[in-house]
């Protein structure tokens, strides 16, 4: 079995500071224009941030007895490491970006205090009931496969202009292989 497999679901539900909801939603929208702070992490399969404003009932579900009194930030992720290891990677690798999101939340201690950061995330963790992933591989394996795919596409574009007699040699050269099969 591959290290870091099966993946670990992470779910953290934190109350948003009253009056900061609009700023948080705006910030999350702005994050779409920037490189994701989760892309820098070696173990993130998928990560999502959602502001929950109300609970809706779906046909067949029990009606909600009382509405939510405040907004909540729901963070869900699937990682190739135990939750505490993933959260430490998030804190240490993307700390300033993490602060920009969770500074909108009640009692968030910031990423600089490792102990309090982990206590906060642990206290606000909820059980993930279901997980989804696109690949049956680790993040590293997926990145390696995608890089190889890009190399193949690059070669395919170049090979279109080559005579068929030169394609084999060009393939070997492009991928750093020798004619002897090394």
Residues whose CB is less than 8 angstroms from the CB of residue 102 and which lie 6 or more positions away in sequence, other chains included: 14, 73, 108
Q: Please tell me whether residues 118 and 161 are part of one structural domain.
A: no
- Enclosing domain of residue 148: 139-174
Q: Please tell me whether residues 50 and 112 are part of one structural domain.
A: yes
Number of domains comprising the chain: 2
- Other beta carbons less than 10 A from residue 80's beta carbon: 24
In order of 93, 135, 143, 150, 152, the CA distances from 42 in angstroms are 10, 15, 10, 19, 24
Phi, psi of 130 (to 5 degrees): -155, 145
In a domain, 51, yes or no: yes
pLDDT digits (tens, 9 = 90+) for 48-59: 999 998 666 666
Q: Please tell me whether residues 101 and 155 are part of one structural domain.
A: no
Q: Please tell me whether residues 26 and 95 are part of one structural domain.
A: yes
pLDDT above 70 (res 42): yes
| pTM, full prediction | 0.70
% of the chain residues with pLDDT over 90: 40
Phi, psi of 60 (to 5 degrees): 95, -10
Strand partners, 91: none
Strand partners, 72: 15, 52
Token pair in block for residue 44: 């993130």
Q: Please tell me whether residues 154 and 103 are part of one structural domain.
A: no
pLDDT digits (tens, 9 = 90+) for 144-169: 777 888 888 888 888 888 888 888 88
| Section 34-39 average pLDDT | 82
In a domain, 100, yes or no: yes
In a domain, 180, yes or no: no
Q: Please tell me whether residues 153 and 98 are part of one structural domain.
A: no
In a domain, 28, yes or no: yes
In order of 32, 37, 101, 103, 158, the CA distances from 29 in angstroms are 6, 14, 11, 16, 39
């Amino acid at each position: 079995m591959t290290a870091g497999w099966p993946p670990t679901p992470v779910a953290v539900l934190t109350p948003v500071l009253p009056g900061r909801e609009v700023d948080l939603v705006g910030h999350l929208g702005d994050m779409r224009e920037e490189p994701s702070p989760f892309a820098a992490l070696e173990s993130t399969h998928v990560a999502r941030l959602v502001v929950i404003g109300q609970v809706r009932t779906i046909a067949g579900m029990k009606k909600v007895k009382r509405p939510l009194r405040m907004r909540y930030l729901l963070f869900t992720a699937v990682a190739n490491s135990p939750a505490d290891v993933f959260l430490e990677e998030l804190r240490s690798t993307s700390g300033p970006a993490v602060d920009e999101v969770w500074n909108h939340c009640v009692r968030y201690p910031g990423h600089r205090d490792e102990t309090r950061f982990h206590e906060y995330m642990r206290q606000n963790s909820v059980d993930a009931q279901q997980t989804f992933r696109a690949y049956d591989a680790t993040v590293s394996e997926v990145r390696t496969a995608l890089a190889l795919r890009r190399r193949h596409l690059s070669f395919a574009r170049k090979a279109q202009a080559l005579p068929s007699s030169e394609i084999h040699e060009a393939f070997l050269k492009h991928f750093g292989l020798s004619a002897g099969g090394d």
